[in-house]
Amino acid sequence: MADGSSAMLARAVTTYEDATTAAMHAAAARVRERWGTTRDAGAAWRFWLAEETTVSALTTPLGGSSIEVGARDDLSVMMCAHDALEAPVGGWEGRVACCPRAFAVDAHLTVDGKRFEDAHACAGEPDYDRERAIEAGLDDAGLYASEAREAARRVLRRERDGGGKPWCTVFGSRFSEGNHFVHLPLIADYLDGAILDPFSKSYAHSLMWRWAEVCEKIGPGEHEVTLRCAPLGVFVPAAGACRLVGYDEAKHGSDKGFKAFLQSLDTEYETSASAAGMSATFTIKLHPNHCAGKKIERRAQEWAPDWPADEIAECYTTALQLANTGPPGAMAAQMTPGATCCHVVLPTTDGHSGIAEVKDRDGRTLYHEFHAWGLFRGVDGELEARTGAQIKFRCVKSCVNGEPTGVWMAKDYDPRPCNGLLLKNKFIDQAIARDDEHIKIPSGVA
């Protein structure tokens, strides 16, 4: 017999903790290990002020700190929970831990004793209204079934545990399936440099706009700030919006008692306001530059400073053509209908620039590849319209017996798609002018 009793749940939690520790993705594992989180403390908070930061190591504890944010500093804070953000809400026979699907995280904010309860929804473009942002956020979180979306809307509408509303709710697919941390980028000079891709990609732009509004209200100088994170989840088995750790199809698939138990858990969930470690209080000193109401915009990507000169001609012309084909072409058709690639940026990726040989474990060369950003100007031509796009993809040429054969092909980052980002058309024009002046590209740029 199984139920939601504390004993059964405790046994299931042990199953869950062992399984989630084993299933942690590499980023969460590094952060949790180096930050020294413990189950008793619940979570750890840290911050950093520079874009190029190794998050797992080169960060500073947030709680009780005094942070002075200089005129040109970035500011990111991050909470890392010891256990995954999807906590069990029920246990079956002490062996199956039943966890909601975490689709969003509330960020509660208090500054100098004043609570900010704007209930912003952070997803999609930063100037979306709340309802449009919620729809974009539920898409980002992978909640496509109507039952799961309605459960999510219910928890978003209601008053939160402890009373009141959150400052912001951030949405994303990476709060589920073994993730332990929540990254909150607040201030940056270069938007994409502040994002931990893919973890905060879906909400970073919007969140930084909301923080700029807070800074404009509170003004420069010293302030006491408290942040609290509260993951939100839905448990809707019929829509696949749940996680069953320890589930065995052969044993549980036809068990009517188990199905009834799952049905009893079918609702929406939020993290308790008293959950250990989910909040941090600190002092921040803001520079006047950060309080002027200026909101960050996405700019075009930068060229790698060390891309091999003898490869520029081949890589630029190849990528310019391939950007309109395969996965990047399909993504461009959705993001900027009717547009064709008008420029290419050749970036540094994982510390490497230029054409690379990709080898198997035995040292055999499988294929050659390089990475590129294709820029697509929106067909409306409006400089201030955010209808342009930049899409990152791979250019791949297969090898036979270690030698490249055939033609270059456009590829995504299987299993992840190409990285597509919207931006204003004026920033694409600026990138073309920038690169035409500084990069020796064959025949100039289009």
Amino acid 1: pLDDT: 27
Query: Cα–Cα distance between 427 and 267 in angstroms, integer?
Result: 45
Q: Which two tokens stand for residue 333?
A: 């058709």
Average pLDDT over residues 24-34: 73
Nearest to 445 by CA among 436, 437, 389: 436
Query: Cα–Cα distance between 376 and 324 in angstroms, integer?
Result: 9
Q: Quick check: 37 and 44 in contact, CB under 8 A?
A: yes
Query: Cα–Cα distance between 209 and 31 in angstroms, integer?
Result: 27
Nearest to 88 by CA among 146, 27, 19: 19
Place of tokens 């039943």: 98
Average pLDDT over residues 45-67: 84
Predicted confidence band of residue 18 (pLDDT cuts 50, 70, 90): low
| Range in 220-224, 336-340, 412-416 the model is least confident about | 412-416
C-alpha distances in angstroms, 58 versus 4, 52, 119, 321?
42, 10, 32, 40
Query: Cα–Cα distance between 95 and 92 in angstroms, integer?
Result: 6
Query: Cα–Cα distance between 406 and 338 in angstroms, integer?
Result: 29
Average pLDDT over residues 123-133: 93
Predicted confidence band of residue 391 (pLDDT cuts 50, 70, 90): very high
Amino acid 11: pLDDT: 60
